Amino acid sequence: MARPPITNQIRRLRFEHNEMTQQELADRIGMTRQTVAAIEHNKYSPSLEAAFRIAETFGAPIGEVFFWKAEEKDK
C-alpha cells in the first residue's frame, strides 16, 4: 500500500504539549491509539474532520500540522 503524500508534525507537537501520549490524543479526537500511530507514522491519511480535530487539540492551524508533499513523492 502506497504511503499518502502527506507528512505531519504530530510527534513534535505531542512533545511540545507535555509529551502528550498517543492514547491521550486518541481519546481527545475519538479515535484508537493505533489510528493515531498510523497517522503519525504517515501510514494513514486522516479525514479532513480528523485533521482539523488534531490541529484543534494542539491549538495550531491545520497547515502547521499536516503538509502536502506530492512533489517530493514524484521526484
Q: Where along the sequence are the contacts to another protein (CB under 8 A)?
A: 1, 30-32, 34-35, 37-38, 43-44, 46-47, 50
Q: Which residues pair with 7 in a beta bridge?
A: 67
Closer residue to another protein, CB minimum distance, 16 or 43: 43
SS3 38: helix
- List of E strands, 1-75: 6-8, 66-68
What minimum distance in Å lies between the beta carbon of 57 and another protein? 15
Nearer to another protein, 18 or 47 (CB): 47
Residue 28 beta carbon to another protein: minimum distance, rounded to whole angstroms? 13
Instruction: Report the candidate in 31, 35, 54 with the shortest Cα–Cα distance to residue 43.
Output: 35
Phi, psi of 14 (to 5 degrees): -65, -40
Residue 7: CB minimum distance to another protein, A: 16
